[in-house]
A and B are shown apart, each in its own frame.
Chain A
């Protein structure tokens, strides 16, 4: 429940603040958002698996987000724009995996009883 409330607070904050992002940075923001999404679902997964560690989660969350944007930036600087896809694919695949695991855990609890 708490993560959902957090998400709503965040969205509200974002819509209220209306941080102006120049079009040239939109790509970095997009990849960073994807990385944050991945980390957030990773956090839910870990908490369902009862392996959640807050230091690991917070550090992972911010380092992944910043690294993702940095990779895109490096790609642009070095003229290797496909580096952008590397970040998207890596985080995209992990996102799907995390969601799959979360789904599995929820189903197991619901239909096959507590482990």
Chain B
């Protein structure tokens, strides 16, 4: 009598213990699956997949644009009246950055410092989006006909902005070293760079103080790729010609 009674209560205790163990195990397993680290991994995977997808679409887009161009040329050949329009179209496209561009110009190289600061702000030792904007704006004031940063052609709607430890241009992530190629009159471009206060400061004091690499070279033969991104504007509207 006494014997069975204690055994049953012991069994009840063990049942509860089993439930607790299983619940702990199960919930721990679930945290691992749905925890923040696995979420991060999933996000990184989808970012990478989307980047590949975008690259593919970009190539497709440039192929399609080429096709359109071919048709335009064909049409122009067929109808003489359209020739002048097509020519104008070509000129405008060239100015807008939708075609590749060759010519003389300058190349600016900007790269992060190789020094490793121990006590100072590490932000001083890397190239930021605003450094790139300084250089690009100076080149624009020097009437550059086309500018390209690490293979990303800048057009009127291109933005240079900070994205974590990289810089984003035309929604593509770029990282140091940055090569800015600009086509235009070399002397004029160089003069504009010298006259730009921000760029002069970057070149003369920051580069020396923090070990940033800032280099300006004259290049006689530059070839800029065409802009391959979307031209669709979501919010801006044309006001038309006045």
B-contacting residues of A (Cβ < 8 Å)? 2-15, 17-21, 23, 26, 29-30, 32-33, 36-37, 39-40, 43-44, 47, 52-54, 57-58, 61-62, 65
Which residues of chain B are near A44, meaning CB under 8 Å? 10
Contact: B11 with A11, CB < 8 Å? Answer: no
A-contacting residues of B (Cβ < 8 Å)? 5-28, 30-31
Give the Cβ gap from A8 to chain B, nearest Cβ, in Å. 7
Contact: B20 with A14, CB < 8 Å? Answer: yes
Contact: A57 with B27, CB < 8 Å? Answer: no
Contact: A6 with B26, CB < 8 Å? Answer: no
Q: Given contacts A26-B27, A26-B28, A29-B23, is CB(A14)–CB(B10) below 8 Å?
A: no
Give the Cβ gap from A103 to chain B, nearest Cβ, in Å. 18
Given the complex of chains A and B, what is the CA–CA distance between A21 and B19 in angstroms? 13
Contact: B27 with A9, CB < 8 Å? Answer: no
Q: Given contacts A21-B27, A26-B31, A36-B16, is CB(A11)–CB(B10) below 8 Å?
A: no
Q: Given contacts A18-B26, A26-B31, is CB(A7)–CB(B9) below 8 Å?
A: no
Which residues of chain B are near A4, meaning CB under 8 Å? 14
Main secondary structure on A side of the interface with B? helix
Main secondary structure on B side of the interface with A? helix
Contact: A30 with B10, CB < 8 Å? Answer: no
Sample of 19 further A-B pairs with CB below 8 A, known A2-B11, A6-B13, A23-B27: A3-B7, A3-B10, A5-B11, A7-B18, A9-B18, A10-B16, A10-B20, A11-B21, A13-B15, A26-B27, A29-B24, A33-B24, A36-B13, A47-B10, A52-B6, A54-B5, A58-B9, A58-B12, A58-B13
Which residues of chain A are near B14, meaning CB under 8 Å? 3-4, 6-7, 10, 40
Total A-B residue contacts, Cβ distance less than 8 Å: 119
Which residues of chain A are near B27, meaning CB under 8 Å? 19-21, 23, 26, 29
Contact: B17 with A37, CB < 8 Å? Answer: yes
Give the Cβ gap from A68 to chain B, nearest Cβ, in Å. 11
Given the complex of chains A and B, what is the CA–CA distance between A21 and B24 in angstroms? 8
Which residues of chain A are near B21, meaning CB under 8 Å? 10-11, 14, 33, 37
Most buried by B among A7, A18, A29, A47: A7
Contact: A21 with B12, CB < 8 Å? Answer: no
Q: Given contacts A10-B16, A26-B27, A57-B6, is CB(A15)–CB(B22) below 8 Å?
A: yes
Contact: A43 with B13, CB < 8 Å? Answer: yes
Given the complex of chains A and B, what is the CA–CA distance between A20 and B5 in angstroms? 33
Q: Given contacts A13-B22, A20-B27, A23-B31, is CB(A6)–CB(B9) below 8 Å?
A: no
The one of B5, B9, B22, B31 in contact with A10, judged by C-beta atoms closer than 8 angstroms, is B22
Q: Given contacts A47-B10, A57-B10, A58-B13, is CB(A6)–CB(B18) below 8 Å?
A: yes
Which residues of chain B are near A11, meaning CB under 8 Å? 18-19, 21-22
Pairs A-B, 4 closest by C-beta atoms: A10-B18, A14-B22, A6-B14, A6-B11
Contact: A32 with B9, CB < 8 Å? Answer: no
Give the Cβ gap from A111 to chain B, nearest Cβ, in Å. 25
Which residues of chain A are near B25, meaning CB under 8 Å? 14
Contact: B20 with A7, CB < 8 Å? Answer: no
